[in-house]
Structure 1
């Protein structure tokens, strides 16, 4: 298992906009560098990118949830 963590404090969003689909969902296969969400702080938006290749097991932060640097956002079951 691998954890993807927040790079900075702010609010985590799973969608690029309210009327759009989430970047990824639990059970989706992801690759290193793939965007899994965004963190917003003071109207600045930073993409959170995957640091592992595998399948998303679970989101550990809710959509619109507050995060701090190093907080685990997603747990990934890595490819072997």
Structure 2
């Protein structure tokens, strides 16, 4: 089983949901596909989707909703299935 990471290409603020009242895009333990949106990175009121690069099961988020992130930082991990 291969391990994968989701890495942010941008600095900014990480959000797990589209709006404060929305459900999270995905939860830990969920099956995800390549291209699945796992969160957003906000930079100066512009939001960019952060997506998985492969399919698998989401293991963990390494940052919390609302945390500041830097380019190259690992946001989440997942395994092939």
| TM-score normalized by the length of structure 1 | 0.96
Gaps of 5+ in 1: none
Give the superposition deviation at 1:77: 1.1
Distance 1:65 1:25 in 2: 17
1:19-30 paired onto structure 2 within 5 Å: 19-30=21-32
Paired residue for 2:39?
37
The DSSP-based 3-state class of the residue aligned with 1:16 is coil
Paired residue for 1:46?
48
Gaps of 5+ in 2: none
Give the superposition deviation at 1:78: 1.4
Distance 2:71 2:54 in 1: 18
| TM-score normalized by the length of structure 2 | 0.95
Aligned length: 79
Considering only aligned residues, what root-mean-square deviation do their CA atoms show, in Å? 0.6
Over 4 Å off, 4+ runs: none
